[in-house]
Chain A
Amino acid sequence: MSNTDENKKHHEEPEIDELTKDRYLGGHEYDGIRELDNKLPRWWVYLFYVTIIFAVVYLLGYHVIKSESIKKMFPSQEDEYKSEMAALDSLRNANPQATVDLETMVPLTAPADLASGQETFKKICSVCHGQQGQGLVGPNFTDQYWIHGDTITNSISIKNLFQVVTNGVIEKGMIPYKDQLSPVQRQQVLSYILTLQGTNPPNPKAPQGKKYDKFG
């Protein structure tokens, strides 16, 4: 029997699948696999239409229609970034950072300040100065040797260190933190660092800089 005959037979007298009562397609048989003559499921067709409509609207909104109000609904990634940053600026302007007076700065002693300083230290400073301030790439904070003390008055104070944290010592790899830490946070972390003096952690880095006895 040729395939054409088979085709004809099925067209004249559609065969029905017993289990589902669906109609077989005549002549559609491949290694025993037959195909049913079912229509596309309606919900599937509608789903496809909806996605196509989505695509058209999306492309029109983002790339074709130039009106300002539409553009607000479909911003480019650059515009989105600008408005995100503008929101940040207004947030910062609304909550101005507490300022500190460098001239009169002294180490903070309140437990809350030291705890906040410790948190900053663990998050940021420890990467280079060690978890216990013992020094890694950056210098040891637990000995009496300092690189950026005041050689004229032969003293080291939180004021000197505040300058280092704020502006960095870029040639040594110390980056400025004025954009990452608020002035109060800088004062807090330095206050915490100064509490590490004499703690003798394991694996200390060899002293660097000059020994200062005078603190203030």
Chain B
Amino acid sequence: MELQKFYYDNKIVKMFAYATIFWGVVGMLVGVLVALQMVLPAANFSLPFTSFGRVRPVHTNAVIFAFVGNGIFTGYYYSLQRLLKTGMASNWMTRVHFWGWQSIIVAAAISLLAGFTTGKEYAELEWPIDIAIAVIWVIFGWNMMWTILKRRVKHIYVAIWFYIATFVTVAVLHIVNSMEIPWAIFKSYPVFAGVQDALVQWWYGHNAVAFFLTTPYLGLMYYFMPKAANRPVYSYKLSILHFWALIFLYIWAGPHHLLYQALPNWAQSLGTVFSIMLIAPSWGGMINGLLTLRGAWDRVREEPVLKFFVVAVTAYGMSTFEGPMLSLKNINAISHFTNWTVAHVHIGALGWNGFLTFGMIYWLIPRIFATKLYSNKLANVHFWLGTLAILFYSLPLYWAGWTEASMWKQFNAAGELVYPNYLEIVTQIMPMYYMRLFGGLLYFAGMFILVYNIYKTVQAGSFVALEAAEAPALEKEGARQSGESFHRFIERRPVQFMILAIVAVLIGGIVEIIPTFIIKSNIPTIATVKPYTPLELQGRDIYIKEGCYVCHSQMIRPFRSETERYGEYSKAGEYVYDHPFQWGSKRIGPDLFREGVKSGPLYKPNSWHYNHFMDPQKINAQSLMPKYPWLAEKEIDIESTPRKIRVMQQLGVPYPAGYDLKATDDAKAQAETISAGLKAEGINVAASKQVIALIAYIQRLGTDVGDSKTALK
């Protein structure tokens, strides 16, 4: 049959590779800054846009969506064209995809630092950016599917199965979790509240890990590992089974982020068992990666690319074993809200995503520049530095997590908490925070070695923008043939393949989310729980804006160690007006859920809160909290009050009809009372300042079920 000539577009690969490196440097630099802020609160600079609560989301978004995201697209544009023996279907779509994605990243960084956030982890971006992401993602996926349909290879390879699953699932997750009603050009409230919002968020959050950090990278592994080792894939049968098992099971596991919390027990149990069932499918990917190197282990010693891949896949195997273990209730009771989780995710991020990306870049840049890597030796140095960095980063944080949990839970013989003052626990883990910073710096230093090595490689090579290739056209082949397995058949039917993948990923979400919404008994109502006052609502928005949830949870778990420390444990019905929920996922400081309960163990007067916001170190010298002087300077956005109330009414929060018109006056009156009270304590701050609203909100926290610890029993 006649050979057709065509070209691989290397330019788009180069653009995404450079973007990966650039955002890698930025994301890691921001990571180093937030790690520094953990040991040196002065590094928050007492400025809004440099304080931890706003900067940490920039770090997580930058490394996930900018560094890893561009890494996905780099490897994907390189491998897709070659696996399908065709150029991309649409050149303008690839360019729109590239520039659209970079613009989204820039907009994300600016808006997050400016305090525009939804307050939902890993989905912090506000509605205009959410819409842009959806549009760009569909353009990316459309172009991918179109290219697949134009292919000159009969079957689609396992890497492409993973790309397809990634495309459809991320689209579904992003759209469902971003459902929100705007009340301003850059602000909105999510349509879900409390427990439901938490479930949707962690269905999203967990599967962002699954379908943004895992499945696309498994696809990349299936291409670059065998290519770099020049070895066949270990087992096609394993590919099939682990692929379908992985995408079907993964989607159910989200509730393991909400164990021993106000989520119905049945949903928690589903999170646990599906996490456990994920061990084998995840390891299927690890096995297929590592066993592909059988017979080529000697090459691993010489080839830094393979070293990076081996550590990446090993880190993947470790994380995907640890994850299910952390989903067991008895282990989660210890690990949750501690630095253990932070260590766990960084094994995945630094090891699996980081190292696979580095290996891929070292392998692919010399190829598109028709040259050799400038220095294998430097790449080896990078490898060892990075490996040490992962150890220095994670081991201290495992230790810190264990220490925190032990100190939270330790009782003396009389049944009292041994460490009732949270600060003692914070102080205890400071050395671990220092070591983590050191580990982060090592990893960052490795990144510079990569930049230098790639720079020299690029200089030595000559870029092949369009790489010529040829292959015969694809013959039309219709129905399933005798002897052709069903899977082999579906591998040449990409649209049907995509539909099957959608079905596989939708089932889990539907089974978990819909009952939580429609069956009332899942969230028992509590009559005394009332909507926030307009001033409290304003204060809550400031709480979200400053990223307080990054360090403080609002979720008291049903443990004696929690209820003794914080007060009565949290009930599902207490969160019904929380758009969004603010349960948090990590306690750098104490839980705040019952901060306002006067008879509770944490209550502080307004004047304490004021002084603490202005200068936490003046009250507790060892406190890690940033100073918030601007809260006493900036005005509450009081004009937005009626709009906020109206959106809340649309969302079903039972403010009386027409209350939006009265709300502003109510807010002002409540603010005046707080301001006057502070004045009596010698603190002069106008009623119109943000700190007043924030204090109103903090003092409301947890008070709806009454002041008494026993009110709910």
**A interface residue numbers (CB < 8 A to B):** 2-3, 17, 19-20, 22, 24-25, 27-28, 30-41, 44-45, 47-48, 51-52, 54-55, 58-59, 62-63, 76-78, 80-81, 84-85, 88, 91-92, 95, 97, 122-124, 127-128, 131, 136-137, 170, 172-173, 175-176, 179-180, 182
* Given A19-B296, A39-B237; A175-B601 close (CB under 8 Å): yes
A-B contact pairs, 12 of them (CB 8 A): A3-B475, A28-B236, A30-B83, A38-B234, A59-B269, A76-B265, A95-B415, A123-B420, A124-B421, A131-B621, A137-B607, A175-B601
Given known contacts A19-B295, A76-B265, A137-B605, A33 and B414 CB-to-CB distance under 8 angstroms: no
Query: A-facing mask of B212-238, CB < 8 A → 1, else 0?
Result: 000000000001001100011111111
Q: Is B280 an interface residue (CB 8 A)?
A: yes
Determine whether the beta carbon of B284 is less than 8 Å from that of A30.
no
Q: Which residues of B contact A123 (CB under 8 A)?
A: 419-421, 424
Q: Contacts of A24 on B, CB cut-off 8 Å?
A: 232
Given A59-B269, A63-B265, CB of A30 within 8 Å of CB of B605: no
CA distance A136 to B681 in the complex (A): 11
Kindly state whether residue B600 has any CB partner on chain A within 8 Å: yes
* Contact of B599 with A by CB under 8 A: yes
Task: Find B604's partner among A55, A173, A176 (CB 8 Å cutoff).
Answer: A173
Give the chain B neighbours of A179 by CB distance below 8 A: 601, 709
The chain B residue sitting closest to A6, CB to CB, is B154
Q: In the complex, what residues of A have CB within 8 A of residue B604's CB?
A: 128, 137, 173
| Minimum C-beta distance from B699 to chain A (A) | 11
Shortest CB–CB separation between residue B712 and chain A, in angstroms? 11
Give the interface segment out of B271-279, B540-548, B635-643.
Answer: B271-279
Q: Fill in one digit per residue for B277-312: 1 if any A CB lies within 8 Å of its CB, else 0.
A: 101110110010001001110000000000000000
Report how far A55 CA is from B295 CA in the complex, Å. 37
Within the assembled complex, what's the spacing in Å between the Cα atoms of A131 and B620?
9
Question: Are B414 and A97 interface neighbours, CB within 8 A?
Answer: yes
Q: Does B503 sit within 8 A of A, measured CB to CB?
A: no
Taken residue by residue from 588 to 599, chain B's Cβ proximity to chain A (1 for < 8 Å, 0 otherwise) reads as 000000000011
The interface residues of chain A lying within 8 Å CB-to-CB of B619 are: 127-128, 136-137
Q: Across the interface, do A38 and B601 meet the contact criterion of CB distance under 8 Å? A: no
Contact A95 B284 (CB under 8 A): no
Question: How distant is A170 from chain B, measured CB to nearest CB, in Å?
Answer: 5
A40 touches B601 (CB 8 A): no
Q: Do B276 and A19 touch (CB < 8 A)?
A: no
> Is B95 close to A, CB under 8 A?
no
* A residues less than 8 Å from B284 (CB atoms): 44
Determine the chain A residues whose CB is within 8 A of the CB of B236 once the complex forms. 25, 28, 35-37
In the complex, which residues of chain B have a beta carbon less than 8 angstroms from the beta carbon of A122? 421
B613 CB to nearest chain A CB (Å): 12
Taken together as a complex, chains A and B put the C-alpha atoms of A175 and B276 apart, in Å, by 45
Complex CA gap A3/B475 in Å reads 9
Does B377 touch A at the CB level, under 8 Å?
Answer: no
Known: A62-B269, A124-B421. 15 other contacts (CB 8 A): A2-B475, A28-B236, A31-B82, A31-B85, A38-B235, A55-B276, A58-B273, A76-B265, A85-B560, A95-B414, A128-B608, A137-B608, A173-B606, A173-B607, A179-B709
Query: Is B603's CB under 8 angstroms from A175's CB?
Result: yes
Residues of B with C-beta under 8 A to A175:
598-601, 603
Return the contact of B605 from the options A33, A80, A95, A173 (Cβ within 8 A).
A173
Nearest CB of chain A from residue B327's CB, rounded to whole Å: 11
Is B380 an interface residue, CB under 8 A from the partner?
no
Would you call A77 and B260 a contact (CB within 8 A)? yes
Minimum Cβ distance to chain B for residue A112 (Å): 16
A34/B607 contact (C-beta < 8 A), A51-B279, A95-B413, A180-B601 known = no
Q: Which residue of A lies closest to B266 (CB)?
A: A63
Q: Chain A nearest CB: distance from B558 CB in Å?
A: 4
Residue of A nearest to B599 (CB): A176
Check A173 against B603 for contact (C-beta < 8 Å): yes
Look across to chain A and name the residue whose beta carbon is closest to the beta carbon of B677.
A171
Q: A19-B294, A28-B236, A137-B608 are in contact. Are A78 and B280 (CB under 8 A)?
A: no
Residues of A within 8 A of B600 (CB): 175
CB distance from B474 to the nearest CB of A (A): 9
Q: Please give, as numbers and ranges, the residues of chain B lying within 8 Å of A78 by CB-CB distance.
A: 558
**Shortest CB–CB separation between residue A64 and chain B, in angstroms?**
10
Chain A residues with CB below 8 A from B153, complex form: 30
Q: Are B273 and A35 in contact (CB under 8 A)?
A: no
For the complex, is B559 an interface residue (Cβ under 8 Å from A)?
yes
**Contact in complex: A33, B233 (CB < 8 Å):** yes
- By a beta-carbon cutoff of 8 Å, the part of chain B in contact with chain A is 1, 79, 82-83, 85, 153-155, 157, 159, 223, 226-227, 231-239, 241, 245, 260, 265-266, 268-270, 272-274, 276-277, 279-281, 283-284, 287, 291, 294-296, 329, 413-416, 419-421, 424, 475, 558-560, 563, 569, 598-601, 603-608, 611, 618-621, 681, 709
| Residues of chain A within 8 A of B280, CB atoms compared | 44-45, 47-48, 51
- In the assembled complex, how far is the CB of residue B254 from the closest CB belonging to chain A, in whole angstroms? 16
Please state if A137 and B413 are interface contacts (CB–CB under 8 Å): no
> CA of A170 to CA of B699 in the docked complex: distance in angstroms?
13
Contact check: which of B79, B276, B416 meets A54 at CB < 8 Å?
Answer: B276
- Shortest Cβ distance from A36 into B: residue: B232
Chain A residue at minimum C-beta to C-beta distance from B278: A51
A2 to B471, CA, bound (A): 11
Question: Which residue of chain A has the shortest Cβ distance to B222 in the bound complex?
Answer: A33
**Distance (whole angstroms) from the CB of B285 to the closest CB of chain A:** 11
**Set of chain A residues within 8 Å of B281, measured between Cβ atoms:** 48
Instruction: Give the docked Cα–Cα distance between A12 and B283 (Å).
Output: 33
Shortest CB distance A67–B (Å): 17
A38-B238, A44-B284 given as contacts; is B226 within 8 A of A33 (CB)? Answer: yes
Find the B residue at minimum CB distance from A61. B269
A24, B226: Cα distance in complex, Å: 14
Min CB gap B305→A, angstroms: 15
- B421 and A58 form a contact (CB under 8 A): no
Nearest opposing residue in chain B for A30, CB measure = B157
**Nearest residue, chain B, Cβ from A62:** B269
B residues less than 8 Å from A25 (CB atoms): 236
Complex Cα spacing A188 to B249, Å: 57
- Chain A residue numbers with a CB within 8 Å of B608 are 128, 137, 173
Q: Which residue of B lies closest to A174 (CB)?
A: B605
In the complex, are the beta carbons of B294 and A52 less than 8 A apart? no
When the two chains form their complex, are residues A81 and B223 in contact, meaning their CB atoms are under 8 A apart?
no
Distance between Cα atoms of A98 and B599 in the complex (Å): 23
Nearest B-chain residue to A54, judged by Cβ: B276
A51 to B416, CA, bound (A): 39
Q: How far is the CA of A41 from the CA of B242 in the complex (A)?
A: 12
Q: Is the CB of A38 within 8 A of B237?
A: yes
What residue in chain A is nearest B481 (Cβ atoms)? A4
Q: By the criterion CB–CB under 8 Å, are A40 and B241 in contact?
A: yes
* A residues less than 8 Å from B274 (CB atoms): 55
B154 touches A88 (CB 8 A): no
B522 to chain A, nearest CB (A): 13
Compute how far the CA of A25 lies from the CA of B236 in the bound complex, rounded to whole angstroms.
Answer: 8
Q: Is the CB of B235 within 8 A of A58?
A: no
Residues from chain B with Cβ under 8 Å of A91 in the complex: 415
6 tightest A-B CB contacts, nearest first: A173-B605, A19-B295, A55-B273, A48-B280, A81-B558, A38-B235
A37 to B235, CA, bound (A): 6
Bound CA–CA A172/B681 (angstroms)? 9
**Closest chain B residue, CB of each to CB of A76:** B265
Considering the chains assembled together, what is the distance between the CA atoms of A25 and B619 in angstroms?
70
Q: Which residues of A contact B558 (CB under 8 A)?
A: 77-78, 80-81
Q: Which residues of A contact B277 (CB under 8 A)?
A: 48, 51-52, 54-55
CA distance in complex: A36, B268 (Å): 40
Contact between A20 and B273, CB atoms less than 8 A apart = no
**Chain B residues positioned under 8 Å from A41 (CB to CB):** 238, 287
